[in-house]
Amino acid sequence: MTDHVGIDDIALATTGLVVDLGVLAQAHSVDPDKFYVGIGQSEMSIAGEDEDVVSLAAAAVQTIADRTDISGVRTLLLATETGVDQSKAAGVFVHGVLGLPPNVRVVELKQACYAGTAALMMARSLVCSDPSEKVLVVAVDVAKYDVGSGGEPTQGAGAVAMLITADPSILRIEPKTGVHTDDVMDFWRPNHRTTALVDGKFSIEAYMRSLEGAWTDYRAHDGFAYDDFDHFCYHQPFTKMANKAHAHLVALNGGDADKAEIAELMGPTQTYNRRIGNTYTASIYVGLLSLLETVPADLAGHRVGMFSYGSGSVGEFWSGTVVPGYQLHLDPELTATVLDGRKAIDHEAYLHLHDFALPIDGTSMKIDERAARNGFRLAGVDADRRQYERFEPTSAVLG
C-alpha–C-alpha distance, residues 317 and 159, integer Å: 21
Is residue 22 at the binding interface for ligand COA, with CB under 6 A as the rule?
no
What are the backbone dihedrals phi and psi of residue 210, each rounded to the nearest 5 degrees, phi first? -65, -40
Is residue 238 at the binding interface for ligand COA, with CB under 6 A as the rule?
yes
Is residue 28 at the binding interface for ligand COA, with CB under 6 A as the rule?
no
Is residue 267 at the binding interface for ligand COA, with CB under 6 A as the rule?
no
Shortest Cβ 342–ligand COA spacing (Å): 22
Q: How many CB atoms are closer than 10 A to CB 149?
A: 15
With a CB cutoff of 8 Å and minimum separation 6, the contacts of 231 are: 265, 268, 269, 291, 299, 302, 303, 304, 305
Is residue 38 at the binding interface for ligand COA, with CB under 6 A as the rule?
yes
CB of 161 within 8 A of CB of 11? yes
* DSSP letter (8 states) at residue 394: P
Query: What residues form DSSP beta bridges with 76?
Result: 106, 136
CA 238 to chain CA centroid, Å, is 12
Residue tagged active-site, from 43, 49, 95, 113: 113
Q: For ligand COA, what does the binding mask look like between residues 158 and 177, x meaning CB under 6 A?
A: --------------------
What are the backbone dihedrals phi and psi of residue 353, each rounded to the nearest 5 degrees, phi first? -70, -30
Is residue 37 at the binding interface for ligand COA, with CB under 6 A as the rule?
yes
| Number of residues binding to ligand COA, judged by CB under 6 A | 20
Is residue 151 at the binding interface for ligand COA, with CB under 6 A as the rule?
yes
Is residue 205 at the binding interface for ligand COA, with CB under 6 A as the rule?
no
Residue tagged active-site, from 43, 49, 51, 81: 81
Q: Which is nearer to ligand COA, 185 or 336 (CB)?
A: 185
Is residue 189 at the binding interface for ligand COA, with CB under 6 A as the rule?
no
Residue 51 annotated to the active site: no
Residue in 242, 273, 320, 336 with CA at minimum distance from that of residue 45: 273
User: Of residues 274-313, which lie at the interface with ligand COA (CB under 6 A)?
Assistant: 309, 311
The helix/strand/coil state of 112 is coil
Binding site for ligand COA (CB under 6 A): 31, 33-34, 37-39, 150-151, 154, 186-187, 198, 200-201, 203, 207, 237-238, 309, 311
The catalytic residues are 81, 113, 235
